[in-house]
Structure 1
């Protein structure tokens, strides 16, 4: 909606959305002396966007453990730890591989070049980082630890700790955080420049005016109608892992004033998610712990008793964000992760040992099948065929792609340990949607562009609203990395 700019400015910069990207923009603006208002749809006890629900993992470029010590908190295990370097070339190759080459090359270059200095900047402001032993390393026989998969660093306290740190830093810099404000539309002047935001609160509608507006309000994964429209039939049934507030409001608001769509609206980040936990959507207490991400160590079997993908195709970090879709497409949108007693102790404690977890246990495969909603005979045959196909001459090593395979169809290419020692365990999983890949089109500084490629003056975007980096899949930890980098970029200009 266009108005004459007759209202005094409430702030220099308004940031819409209080997740990792939003706070990164807030810090960049506030440390430049800008007066900043942060609008967060959630109340204070529901704030933080999707970032609150994450494990806090962030993919960065580094030269190994000695290089990382300037970033991460001290840990006595460091003396016995090996962290392989992760180069810019590896980062780029991983992004290109998992997105099937659909990642924007300019945005990719900026992300890779700036992520490490950006995290060091955030640390200098007061955020805390650590090595993620429980998620990205295994203890070896000699007591040492080896990290794998290119993703090594995360926030202390996970997503909850990240948002707590971000909020504290913002308040230290005098940022005005306004909870319970659902931004609904953008205000423009007669030239088309964005000069403010309209929001709805419990006390009614408000209009706030500023020199610049930064949109970091997430995608549309919490909107079942939008999911069905853009992702396809059946996606309305996916479980929302994170915030219930990402309805696509500000994507629509930006498009209403001429913003071009950016990125892939037809794919998303989705994972294997506890299918039967009674509170398995937007769970603030369990957050990320409802994921089931040790699947590469076991088997995935559907209701028809059949395997349907290669569980060991690659490190978890490069497959987990696309396998939720594979589960959604199975009969009943459910499958079962199956393990035996040999592998069970290696499953992530934070995901497989918590109270109330959905699990079935039995002393034999036949007894396990009888407890599941599966074709029991096919289930048993599938495991027998898999066991018969395992190459038992190759040593199992979860820290590398060990080539220990099972010659079945589909194959299991790595980490193929026979499922033969009782008791046996089955974990029912469904599709948990994390975030969508489509948003608004921007340049490499987060300036929102119209259909002619021109900047809509006064308007920026970052985080999940910035389209173009991801399609089909993404390497674990790049979502938070992009939020930090492009949030900071937008806030540095706004």
Structure 2
């Protein structure tokens, strides 16, 4: 479909991830003409959704856990608005029914959290399967896709209403008139300069979790702020994951860190590797690694790692471990100070108390007299071969973004909706302190659909 001078102005959607496609399809289902723009090409578009496993924090297809609201609000220290989470829960069943009607299917599949405490549901085929369900639906409904097109600035009328968006494409810059604009273009994790201004650390050591990160440069957020939008979320934080910096495959996760020790480039331990299950501690572990010299650490274990039955499920890196017969050779291979690593490993081994090891759950097998301690899964590291994986901090998405209301309308500093402007997905800021896993794709789906329906009737 191509809009003409006599056609009504379209809903313009910025971004082709789960939030953007949900918005585009939903608006088109209401009979509105829709134009979707994305800076990527057709083979790369999809944002972070295209690359994620898309775990959903659900007990069943239509049901979150009874503690869902309390957990999401609690993870933020009470700063995530409870009304937002309650609205998400209320609209969840209808949204899940809708996406299944477009062909998506969900199953409870094993996750890379091999000793998880929390439920996870997953679309068969991951995030790309959700996009693959919605793209043909959008095309059938006449949504016009404009790839290699970057939204730059919002156009507003004298009354402050958003009436279009200025974009740049291979033919130059021009304005797309719009009855409403929906921003669904992710965070600013793909803009090193913006990250450097916002985050309190060396952003040069952060590793993009997947290729989709580089397309999320934050223009959608910035152009809304320029139009008077209110900031939401924690701007100096981001969703972090521990990855193998050697690997070139997306989401090269190292989620087995409780089953050995983590040392920095000084050869020293710096946290309790066994303080909780992987799903509870992976993000804080990644952040702790980022805070180390050079933003790197090394997961070290030994032959006893074979006792962890599902260990391969927690290793998504395409690289093999560094393997040696003794600590001295391992230190040399990792370019760590030999004497200090030897002391660290010896002190750890000496502190391990007897007990029954159970990799599936917190087993209480701990250390005594060691700083920092290890609270669970403490096995000595002294049985050849010794194994090591480098670990770095990956950035998935930024926490800071736009504030919206229950209708996905972007609000100003006084909390009033900006007419004609909507937003959904990772460009909206709700997270603080700790990411509640399995919620980003979920909220993009739910509120993308809300935004599309509302914008179509704006």
Tell me, yes or no, whether TM beats 0.5. Answer: yes
Instruction: Please name the residue that 2:181 is paired with.
Output: 213
| 1:14–1:210 Cα contact (<8 Å) kept | yes
Given the alignment, which residue of 185, 193, 197 partners 1:225? 193
1:340 paired with 2:338, answer: no
2:257 maps to: 295
2:386 aligned with 1:424: yes
Among 162, 168, 185, the residue aligned to 2:136: 168
Q: Name the structure 2 match of 1:108.
A: 85
Equivalent-residue separation in structure 2 for 1:227 and 1:444 (angstroms): 28
Aligned-partner Cα distance in 1 for 2:164–2:125: 35
Aligned twin of 1:255: 225
C-alpha distance 353-266 of structure 1, shift in aligned 2 (>3 A): closer
Q: Is the 8 A contact 1:19 1:49 kept in 2?
A: yes
How does 1:78-477 map onto structure 2 within 5 Å? 87-89=65-67, 91-136=68-113, 148-242=116-210, 243=212, 244-277=214-247, 279=248, 286-288=249-251, 290-344=252-306, 346=309, 348-349=311-312, 352=315, 355=318, 357=319, 359-398=321-360, 400-407=361-368, 408-468=370-430, 470-477=431-438
Q: Flag as ranges the 4+ runs of structure 1 deviating above 4 A.
A: 6-11, 344-348
Closer, same or farther: CA 10–358 of 1 in aligned 2, 3 Å: farther
**1:60, 1:115 within 8 Å by CA — same for their partners in 2?**
no
Scaled by the length of structure 1, the TM-score of the pair is: 0.84
C-alpha change, 1:354 and 1:452, in structure 2 (3 Å) is closer
Residue 254 of structure 1 and its aligned partner are, at CA, apart by: 0.6
User: Could you tell me how far 1:378 is from its partner in structure 2?
Assistant: 2.2
CA RMSD of aligned residues (A): 2.4
Q: Could you say which residue in structure 2 is the equivalent of 1:43?
A: 41
The 3 A distance-change label for structure 1 pair 217 and 310 is same
Quote how far apart the aligned CAs of 1:351 are. 6.4
Residues 121-163 of structure 1, C-alpha deviations (whole Å, 9 max, x = no match) = 211221122222253557xxxxxxxxx4323211222233333
Conserved? CA contact 2:240–2:394, under 8 Å:
yes
Distance 1:295 1:182 in 2: 40
Gaps of 5+ in 2: none
TM-score, length of structure 2 as denominator length: 0.91
Residue 393 of structure 1: how far off its partner (Å): 1.9
Give the C-alpha shift of residue 353 in structure 1.
6.8
Q: 2-side partners of 1:258 and 1:86: how far apart?
A: 34
What is the aligned partner in structure 2 of residue 142 from structure 1?
Answer: none
Consecutive unaligned residues of structure 1, counting only runs of 5 or more, are: 1-5, 63-67, 72-84, 139-147, 280-285
SS in 1 for 2:234: strand
Alpha-carbon distance in structure 1 between the residues aligned to 2:366 and 2:264: 20
- Aligned partners of 1:274 and 1:358 also within 8 Å: no
Which string of whole-angstrom CA distances, capped at 9 and with x for unpartnered residues, describes residues 396-438 of structure 1? 142x333332233222222333333321211112221111011
Could you tell me how far 1:315 is from its partner in structure 2?
Answer: 2.2
Cα separation, partners in 2 of 1:476 and 1:117, compared to 1, 3 Å: same
Contact 1:340 1:419 in 2 (8 A): yes
Q: Deviations over 1:364-420 (max 9, x none)?
A: 23322221122222222222332333343234142x333332233222222333333
- State the Cα distance separating 1:234 from its structure 2 match: 1.0
Q: 1:491 to 1:149 in 2, by over 3 A?
A: farther
Residue 448 of structure 2 is aligned to residue 487 of structure 1? yes
Q: Work out whether residues 136 and 152 of structure 1, in 8 Å CA contact, stay in contact via their aligned partners in 2.
A: no
- CA 1:316–1:9: 2 relative to 1, 3 Å: farther
Specify which of 9, 15, 18 is matched with residue 16 of structure 2. 18
The alpha carbon displacement at 1:204 in A equals 1.6
SS at match of 1:94: helix
- In structure 2, C-alpha distance between the alignment counterparts of 1:119 and 1:386, rounded to whole Å: 48
